[in-house]
Chain A
Amino acid sequence: MNLDWSDDELAFRQEVREFFAENLTDELRSAGTWMTSVYADHERSLAWQRILHKRGWVAPAWPVEHGGAGWSVAQRYIFARERAAAGAPPVSPMGIAMCGPAIIGHGNDWQKAHFLPRMLSGEHFWCQGYSEPGAGSDLAALQMRAEDDGDALVCTGQKIWNTHADVANWGFFLVRTSRLERLQQGITFLLVDMTTPGVTVRPIVSPAGEHIQNEIFFDQVRVPKANVVGAIDNGWTVAKYLLEFERGGSAYAPDLQVRLDQIEAAARTVAVGDGMLADDAAFVRRLALARIRLAAFETYEFRAMAGPALSGASASVMKVLGTELQQHVTELGLLVAGRYGMAYQPQAGMPGGQVSLPHAHGTFVGPRQAAVAPLRYLNERAGSIYAGSNEIQRNIIAKTLRL
């Protein structure tokens, strides 16, 4: 047992560092550093994806034969850590991290050949459509209909919480093709061209004023059966596979380490009485407790990625602890911001979508970190709600505790 990187892994780290140093422009670095949520600015994120694509590094977890980097979990972890440290924007997860693995795992040869290269290049930008107004935590209750009509499925219904659907040209959806005894049966995993007639996207504005989420309405939308991933009525299998991926697919700790460093650096610039906040006993203690939590959590992530599986629910454990730690880190950010955290200044950050609430433009007051802090705090509240709320995750974990 040891916690050290091997020589090969260290060499890999060096390679990654050099790549970032050479390719990351200030503008891209800013897009990564001043994100206000887990979603980066769309244009810059895509620009960075194209740079990664040239190097073959867009999809760390995909096998090489499909155009992925084919990295080990350790390499992926190192890459994530270096990405965070360098301030590079993350690649949107909907295609690369979610739909891609579904197609690789359950798609046919044509789907792999057609969609995967376009996903990597960014030509296809993806959104996800699982939840519906009446099917959130109870996802299997989804009702959007897809009726068989020769070589096509005709879709009618509504999806909600569709991240980046306003800029996506493709989406993957769960639709109901049959009413069977178990709700989980009769669901189909479907890829939809968002420009198909009958598809309407409506914005949802977040408390931080950002338009990242959407609702999607389907009115008699004809989708070729060739776009069904896996078998008709067997979409739940694909979705479950993907949900596991969504929950445990990426590590939280790399970004959190960097965020805590940023918070500590910011606290060094904030005066309290005759000293600095970074030396204030109460703050020092809070930061130390957060670092302690993170150290334990990161080790858990190492254990999970080193396999074999820790428990049937380790993905859920990671989702709960990871998002709650992420939320806590934004609380510390807000603490450092002090009264400047009351100001609404999205112009100081790089939000992941259009901002629709009134705000000043151009310049901003106070430290930039303070301007971004409340936006991160508000946006991160979603962490314990999306991808299966933390209450649902705890239910999943509870099932594994029974002997």
Chain B
Amino acid sequence: MDFSLSGEQQQLRDSVRGWLKSHHGFEHRRAISRSESGWDAATWTAFADDLGILSLADIAVPHDAVTVMVVMEELGEALITVPFLETVVTGAAVLRAAGGEAAQALSDGIIAGDVRLALAWAEPDTRYGWQPRTTRAVREGNGWRLDGLKSVVVGAPWATHLIVSALTDTGTSLFVVAPDAIGVSLMSYPTIDGRRAADVRFEGVVLSGDALLGEEGAALPVLERVGDISIAAMGAEAVGVMRRMLADTIEYTGQRKQFGQPIASFQVLQHRMVDMFMQIEMATSAVYLATLRLEAEPAERARAASVAKVTIGEACRFVGQNAVQLHGGMGMTDDAAVSHYFKRATVIEGEFGTTDHHVERFISVAG
């Protein structure tokens, strides 16, 4: 049992933090999220060339969950917009499970900074279940024909490739689809945290045979695992988001004076910040648990991921709401960094399953 980081991991963390601190300040973030496309090319290029962290998507080596955790926490604290989670974590996890040349080529593309992925899994009627209901791929000649609608595909407007789950004759399967293929239409919109998503419609999209990722009909367990990998990484991001909110709140309440003294001198506010801190600590432990159990057998892995998602979801809500509250009116403005972090925390709370969803999942896997 060991909770320490390796020297390499510490070094990587420091260099990621250093770069983000000098290149990805709040004003940069705000300007990017307010731009038409919301796309932060400079940061993505630096991730590829200067920091080399896109190489965590290399499927020739096993998923390095602890290093991903370390990086994600930093990305959370800097509130990045780029689709690192969607591409390097979620997308690469699908590729790794599929294997093969096509997957390796995409993985190489990610590392070079050329390929960005978005996983189109949810549909208007599936809520948080992995199984598609209406998106369907049927064999046509040597290839496939894809029809259906996917909802809130995060990162889709920035993606070079979509990974789409669809029903086929033998079950659920995964396909690589180009967003500009004939028959694919994106209805793009910003998300409340200033990123971009789209509802994606597929109408008679013709796919070649090698668009199939992995084995036909075998995608459900893959998606379950990919979901847990994503929850662990997103949880680490959440810890970074929350640590920053708490730090900002401590700083703000230390400076803000009312009744002739800093408001941080009021015990009721001190204890609130302590409650925030304790939730962050519990969330940190939960992320460790989910991260270190990713290679366990599926039920144990799922249990740990659901423990993490519930703990993170509740912490995100509590820490976020109170960070805003203790900033007073300032917390309710677009000018305050804390409101942007709060919105990211709110999105995280609702992605990959709500608290209720994961309490039920915990019950079903814990037996």
Contact = CB atoms under 8 A, between A and B. Distances in A.
Interface of A: 131, 134-138, 141, 160-161, 204-209, 213, 270-273, 277, 280, 282-283, 286, 327, 331, 334-335, 337-345, 357-360, 363-366, 374, 377-378, 381-382, 384-386, 389-391, 394
Contacts of A386: 329
B127 A345 contact: no
Nearest to A363: B187
* Shortest 5 CB-CB contacts between residues of A and residues of B: A138-B258, A205-B334, A207-B339, A282-B356, A271-B125
Contacts of B332: 206-207, 213, 381-382, 385
A381 B333 contact: no
A357 B334 contact: yes
Given A342-B197, A358-B34, A136 B151 contact: no
Contacts of A364: 189
10 contacts: A135-B258, A141-B258, A213-B329, A270-B127, A335-B356, A337-B350, A342-B347, A342-B351, A343-B190, A389-B325
A280 B350 CA distance: 17
B10 interface: no
B350 A206 contact: no
Given A271-B125, A339-B351, A358 B190 contact: yes
Contacts, number: 151
Interface in B179-197: 187-194, 197
B329 A360 contact: no
B240 interface: no
A67 to B, nearest CB: 33
Contact of A374 (B329, B339, B346): B346
B325 A384 contact: yes
Nearest to B333: A204
B268 interface: yes
A394 B268 CA distance: 10
A342 B154 contact: yes
Main secondary structure of the interface of A (DSSP, over half): mixed
Contacts of B329: 131, 136, 160-161, 213, 382, 385-386
Given A138-B259, A385-B329, A389-B328, A339 B356 contact: no
B29 to A, nearest CB: 13
Contacts of B359: 282
B237 interface: no
Interface of B: 34-36, 38, 122, 124-129, 151-152, 154, 187-194, 197, 199, 257-259, 263, 266, 268-269, 317, 321, 324-325, 328-329, 331-335, 339-340, 342-343, 346-347, 350-351, 354, 356, 359-360
B191 A344 contact: yes
Contacts of B126: 271
Contacts of B360: 282
Contact of B189 (A277, A331, A365): A365
A138 B329 CA distance: 13
A335 B354 contact: yes
Contact of A360 (B38, B124, B128, B188): B188
Central interface residue in B125, B128, B258, B359, by most chain A CB within 10 Å: B258
A382 B34 CA distance: 23
B192 A338 contact: no
B305 to A, nearest CB: 18
Contact of A381 (B34, B331, B351): B331
B350 A339 contact: yes
B199 A365 contact: yes
A206 B189 CA distance: 19
A335 B357 CA distance: 10
A385 B328 CA distance: 6
Central interface residue in A359, A363, A391, by most chain B CB within 10 Å: A391
B127 A385 contact: no
A344 B328 contact: no
Central interface residue in A207, A339, A341, A374, by most chain B CB within 10 Å: A339
A282 B362 CA distance: 13
Contacts of B324: 381, 385
B190 A357 contact: yes
Nearest to B258: A138
Given A342-B152, A358-B190, A137 B127 contact: no
A339 B122 contact: yes
B79 to A, nearest CB: 14
B135 to A, nearest CB: 15
Contact of A343 (B34, B125, B127, B189): B189
A384 B331 CA distance: 12
